[in-house]
Structure 1
Amino acid sequence: MADSLAQRVDWRALWASGDLFRFCFISLGILLHSTNETMVVTILPALVRDLASVQLVGWAFAVYELGAIIAGAAGGRLTSYISLRATLVAAALVYSTGALICATAPDMPIFLAGRLVAGLGGGALVALAFVSVERLFPRAIWPQLFGVISAIWGVAAFSGPLIGALFVEHSTWRWGFATFVGLGLVAAVTALFVLRGPQATRPKNDGRTLPPFPYLTLGSLAASVILIATAGVGIAPLRSSLLLAAGMAGIAVFFMLDARVPAVRLFPSRPLDPRTPVGNGITMVAAFSLATCSFAVYGPIVLQTLHGVSVLSTGYIIVSESIAWSVLSIVVAGAPPHRERSIVLIGALMIAGGLAGFAWAVPAGNIPAILFCAILQGGGFGMAWPFVTRIIVAAAPPSEQTVASSAVPTMQRTGYAVGAASCGIIANVSGFSHGLSGETAAGVASWLFIAYFPLAALGCIAAWRLTKDRSSGNR
């Protein structure tokens, strides 16, 4: 009990010392990144009407996630070469530049370039937030500070779509991005005054030889996502098939290259091996992350075009998924270990059930059913994800447990990037290659979900194998 009291955060003392304000500022980077990431969900329908190119909708998500993955891997390492403060200022300026490009984009390709730049800046801000906590605050209060950061993620997840919807309803989508230009500049200037002291103003390099940066590994991932996304533009059977095959081969190369340099590895060894709990857990994360992108990417466009649903209503539906994720995570957080198996399986079945329900409810325009499916899917993630992460980390060798814990969000982002790129192929093959209309939206509505049934089944199988291994103690 004494240890627990000693490790409790004294928020008044933090405020008096200035550390609380410093922590709030650091957390702003996560809020900027995640709100920008989710705001585009409800902005896209209006954006497509202004810039056309509905064929490129999936790219808006894929390139942002891709930039975030690359910058997330690079952000922490850069502080070994330049100071934390300088790195954070640079990240905020890159983020602001990306938002400016998006706000002023005359066409979709320029907008996508802005999304990539904003993703690079936002991903770096997130990585630097975690580095800052480790470097600037006492170890005893890390758990509490990371808990606050998790809450900030949740706030951004359900506020982003609503913010986008409000800008579309009452102003223009361009002002949504313009707002982030200003916030990024404010963050860059504020960092110069808030981040002081040697820990923030000097590079952290203890004289050891630094591991090489994984240029080839991340480059192969970037090339793979771009190839898959390109396969969905200007659908031609031979060309699109070759590009898709090349993209899938590139992902295989990505995992091979990642395994070659343990010092900079993004995933534990044998990350997709179905014979191990780690492999089954990461497979489950990959399958469900990839399979559930369709509603976030195309749901608002299809609902507005096919059924005339308002952008604010679609925003509330998407927000309900995030709320269900957060609420169910809290509800099951204290479950005893012997309940893990049933919770993970129920969560996996809920995710798959939500996907199956969308395949009927979205074409039918049944809003209560769509809302139920969103809650079902989000709640499934909220139930399963904490325990999946715990099982993966516990099953990994001691030398790989740190990598295993970071591999879950990395795989989740990778799945989102690949999923957004691949659902562009499905949408364009199903009708959007002929433009945006009620007729083409009707053709797209069901296939966006049916096409991912095999991946949902794979996720359920991986969940069953994961919990079976866990219950038998087989690691």
Structure 2
Amino acid sequence: MAESIAVRVDWRALWASGDLFRFCFVSCGILLHATNETMIATIMPAMVGDISGVELVSWSLALYELGAISAGAAAGRLVSYVPLRTNMAVAALLYAAGALTCAASPSMPVFLLGRVVEGLGGGALVSLAFVSVERLFERRIWPQLFAIISGIWGVAAFAGPMLGALAAQYLSWRWAFGLFSVGGFAMAAASLIVLAGTAAKVEPRAAASSPRFPFLPLACLAVAVTLIASAGVSIEVVRSSILLLLGLVGLVLFFTLDSRSPEARLFPSGLFDWRSEVGTGMTVIAAFSIATCSFAIYGPLILTSLHGISVLTTGYIIAAESISWSVLSIVVASAPPHRERAIIVTGAFMITAGVAGFAYSVPAGSIPLILACAMLQGGGFGIAYPFVTRIIVSDAPEGERTIASSAVPTMQRIGYAVGAALAGIIANASGFSEGLSGATAAGVARWLFVAFVPLGMLGCLAAVRSSTKI
């Protein structure tokens, strides 16, 4: 009973102090970022029809994620030198400027530039939301605040595809980005007022107390993903093979450089070593993050071009994937520890079944089957992700558990960026390099998912390997 009283949260007092209001305000940055991130799929058909550039579609996610990874890593360090409100204002301005560039873009290259700037701002906003929990609140109520953040993310994952579909169908895809731009500028202005109280200010720390920023590894990652994405822009066997190989070598170099920078590393040791839970768990996260990109990027584009399915319907399907993730995650949240590994393996096979199922259902245009595959993919992630994360963090060395907890979402973002780049190669090699049409969409529809089934099988193998460990 004493424990229960000790952790009881006095929300009324927190609101009266202004700290809870500030937290809710800062969390709006997550809403801006996540809604924008999930919206892009359903506006893509209308956008490509307006400014063309279907061969560069995959870059929209890859570049956004690269910007978010870099800014997220930087924001956690900058708060040691610059007050929280200044960081928030700059991040929101970057986000707004990127959204405005996207809204006004006359061509795909300009749009992609806007996506990079958007990613920088959005990634910083997310990182600062988590930093605000540490800076503004006592440790004892962090779980409740992180639960609120998870709820906000779930709402955004559902709202993004629907907002994009509604804007594309009834207004214009440019209106969607214009709305986010207004939101970003409003948040930047409000940050200077809402976060002006003494409780929201951050005293700069000594430079020596903050780890240095991993410039070289992140630069290597950016170059590697760009090389992989470039391999698919114009398909030529020799040129594309060389760029792909160089990109894969760059990824290996990125992880090598990170492992050799213990004072500024992004990942725990033994990253892909299958003799440890960290290695198998990170393999699961990486493999499935890469393997599940295809439908989010190209699904609506293929379905509208090949089968004439409305973007609103595709929005419902993508939203259903997010809902199944959230619902099943809640359903298994209280599972006993001895069930965790079985749940992880079940989730892994659900994801792989969803990816393989898309290879049949998308070319066939069967909405019920496509919906079922989307829910398998999202639900599989929903039941496996929390337990994989817990196992990775608990198995990490004592001094690396903080790094391990932040490494899981970082690995997921890297997987999305790499997956988007690889999906671009497959889509363009299968026909999209010749332009968007029903015929080219038919050629892309099957191979875009079949090609990622081996990665799904690798994720399943890693999950089974993890489940056999004692």
For residues 74 and 257 of structure 1, what CA distance do their matches in structure 2 show? 17
Compared with structure 1, are the counterparts of its residues 209 and 467 closer, same or farther at alpha carbon in structure 2 (3 Å cutoff)? same
CA displacement at 1:270 relative to structure 2: 1.8
Alignment gaps of 5+ in structure 1? none
Superposed, which structure 2 residues align to 1:35-434 within 5 Å?
A: 35-198=35-198, 200-206=200-206, 208-434=208-434
For residues 414 and 287 of structure 2, what CA distance do their matches in structure 1 show? 11
Q: Deviations over 1:306-362 (max 9, x none)?
A: 000000000000000000000000000000011012101100000000011100000
- Does the CA contact (< 8 Å) of 1:84 and 1:203 recur in 2? no
For residues 57 and 303 of structure 1, what CA distance do their matches in structure 2 show? 15
For residues 217 and 8 of structure 1, what CA distance do their matches in structure 2 show? 43
Residue identity opposite 2:88 in structure 1:
L
Compared with structure 1, are the counterparts of its residues 199 and 246 closer, same or farther at alpha carbon in structure 2 (3 Å cutoff)? farther
CA displacement at 1:206 relative to structure 2: 4.3
Equivalent in the alignment of 2:31: 31
For residues 260 and 51 of structure 1, what CA distance do their matches in structure 2 show? 44
For residues 165 and 129 of structure 1, what CA distance do their matches in structure 2 show? 28
- Does the CA contact (< 8 Å) of 1:86 and 1:201 recur in 2? no
CA displacement at 1:85 relative to structure 2: 1.1
- Does the CA contact (< 8 Å) of 1:325 and 1:379 recur in 2? yes
- Does the CA contact (< 8 Å) of 1:33 and 1:122 recur in 2? yes
- Does the CA contact (< 8 Å) of 2:77 and 2:211 recur in 1? no
For residues 19 and 203 of structure 1, what CA distance do their matches in structure 2 show? 17
SS at match of 2:208: coil
For residues 309 and 361 of structure 1, what CA distance do their matches in structure 2 show? 13
Residue identity opposite 1:80 in structure 2:
S
Q: TM-score, normalised by structure 2?
A: 0.98
For residues 12 and 281 of structure 2, what CA distance do their matches in structure 1 show? 41
Superposed, which structure 2 residues align to 1:7-26 within 5 Å?
A: 7-26=7-26
- Does the CA contact (< 8 Å) of 1:277 and 1:465 recur in 2? no
SS at match of 2:213: coil
- Does the CA contact (< 8 Å) of 2:350 and 2:376 recur in 1? yes
- Does the CA contact (< 8 Å) of 1:284 and 1:460 recur in 2? yes
For residues 209 and 10 of structure 2, what CA distance do their matches in structure 1 show? 38
Compared with structure 1, are the counterparts of its residues 110 and 203 closer, same or farther at alpha carbon in structure 2 (3 Å cutoff)? farther
CA displacement at 1:23 relative to structure 2: 1.3
SS at match of 1:208: helix
CA displacement at 1:447 relative to structure 2: 0.3
Residue identity opposite 1:371 in structure 2:
L
For residues 203 and 303 of structure 2, what CA distance do their matches in structure 1 show? 50
Compared with structure 1, are the counterparts of its residues 232 and 207 closer, same or farther at alpha carbon in structure 2 (3 Å cutoff)? closer
Q: Deviations over 1:409-459 (max 9, x none)?
A: 000000000000110000000000111000000000000000011101100
Deviates more, 1:2-11 or 1:441-450: 2-11
Q: Deviations over 1:335-391 (max 9, x none)?
A: 001101210110000000001110000000010000001111111000101110111
State the identity as a percent. Answer: 64
CA displacement at 1:3 relative to structure 2: 2.1
Aligned residues: 470
Deviates more, 1:250-259 or 1:137-146: 137-146
Equivalent in the alignment of 1:453: 453
Q: TM-score, normalised by structure 1?
A: 0.97
For residues 356 and 202 of structure 1, what CA distance do their matches in structure 2 show? 49
Equivalent in the alignment of 2:439: 439
For residues 278 and 384 of structure 1, what CA distance do their matches in structure 2 show? 15
CA displacement at 1:208 relative to structure 2: 3.3
SS at match of 1:9: coil
For residues 205 and 101 of structure 2, what CA distance do their matches in structure 1 show? 35
For residues 15 and 199 of structure 2, what CA distance do their matches in structure 1 show? 19
CA displacement at 1:209 relative to structure 2: 4.6
Residue identity opposite 1:227 in structure 2:
L
For residues 259 and 150 of structure 1, what CA distance do their matches in structure 2 show? 30
SS at match of 1:164: helix
Q: Deviations over 1:192-219 (max 9, x none)?
A: 1111344533443046353221100100
For residues 395 and 360 of structure 1, what CA distance do their matches in structure 2 show? 39
- Does the CA contact (< 8 Å) of 2:19 and 2:199 recur in 1? no
CA displacement at 1:248 relative to structure 2: 0.3
- Does the CA contact (< 8 Å) of 2:60 and 2:115 recur in 1? yes
For residues 195 and 177 of structure 2, what CA distance do their matches in structure 1 show? 26
Consecutive aligned runs of 4 or more in structure 1 exceeding 4 Å deviation: none
